[in-house]
Amino acid sequence: MADPAAQYTAEALARRFELEVVGDGDIVVEGVCALEPGRERRLAFAETARQRDIAAASRASLLIVPRQLIDLDRPVLLVSDTPRLSFARVAAVFERPASEPGIAPGAVVAASAQVAPSASVGANAVIGERAVIGAAVIVGAGGVIESDTTIGMGSTIGPRAVIRSGTMLGERVVVGAGAVIGERGFGLVPGPAGLEAVPQLGGVRIEDDVEIGANSTIDRGAIDDTVVRTGVKIDNQVHVAHNCVIGAHTVIAGCTGIAGSCTIGSRCMIGGGVGIGDHVSIADGAIITAASQVPKDIDTEGVYSSTFRAMPARAWRKRLALFRALDRIEARLKRVETKNGISGDPL
């Protein structure tokens, strides 16, 4: 949701994001738009010289362009070596929802909680004992911030999100609607009368500039904290179990499940629906494609997959029949090799 109150001059954006201004730096924009057809008082971007005609005709008031488009006949341009990245960074300043500072009617704030004057606490939100809510934090309607929790400056907690006791969030963290951070981990041990719960005494530490999608869950640690490092981006409906450590700037797509005590490296890309087994370590920079299963450590940067692509159902059933027959096929092959005096590697 864009902030309707946000307005920036081209010169101000150039200074903030280290861009070069060509033309009238006093032109004001109040949001972003697509390059074609574009909108007045909005910013768009072009990436290549092939977009020259579209960029020239765009109704956008301000464009971010590569250096090969610096000669466009426009009132003002922002020049970048990486226009798409620069556009993403600029667009982020308009993304933060507008919210008036203060505590909305119906919100419940404990007497021992510290809420910064510039923070916004939505209707029916709950702030627990000794919680610390930093400057410019937004807690959405129905959000729950439990006791002894710290929310860093500029963070946004979505509607109905729950931040359980003892959780620490850094600055500019975004938690989507319905997410739950710091729930007890799924720790069980067999006992004489069945499974018994293992106390989950750790917490969760979320570092700066992390995004956690709607309805995602991150469990607190059993003893040590679960840790999500700087710049991690987690999609909707992702589960991170207790005692995991997610390395800086890793990206995790929707519906992925990460079992307990995993260590995920920095700059990893994990596709949607991936399942990662407990106590698995994944190297920095690893890419795991969608729906893969990861039961063992990945020690080297690279691209990893473990699933079949979709195929017609009849073809899949034929392959499934072969899978089920693999033991018999292997035994038959060994008999043939033995009969013919062939010594081959085992399958």
Q: Is the dihedral of CA 333, 335, 337, 339 positive or negative?
A: negative
The owner of tokens 């929310």 is 151
Amino acid (1-letter code) at residue 66 = P
The owner of tokens 């494609």 is 289
Cα–Cα distances (Å) from 327 to 138, 190, 323, 334, in that order, read 59, 34, 9, 11
Catalytic, 239? Answer no
Query: Choosing from 239, 242, 249, 279, which is the catalytic residue?
Result: 242
Angle (CA) 254-256-260 rounded to 5° is 140
Which phi and psi (to 5°) does residue 197 adopt? -75, 135
Write out the DSSP string of 105-171. Answer: TT-EE-TT-EE-TT-EE-TT-EE-TT-EE-TT-EE-TT-EE-TT-EE-TT-EE-TT-EE-TT-EE-T
Write out the DSSP string of 189-258. Answer: EEETTEEEEPP----EEE-TT-EE-TT-EEEPPSSSPEEE-TT-EE-TT-EE-TT-EE-TT-EE-TT-EE
Angle (CA) 322-324-326 rounded to 5° is 70
Which phi and psi (to 5°) does residue 128 adopt? -85, 180
Could you give the residue numbers annotated as active site?
242
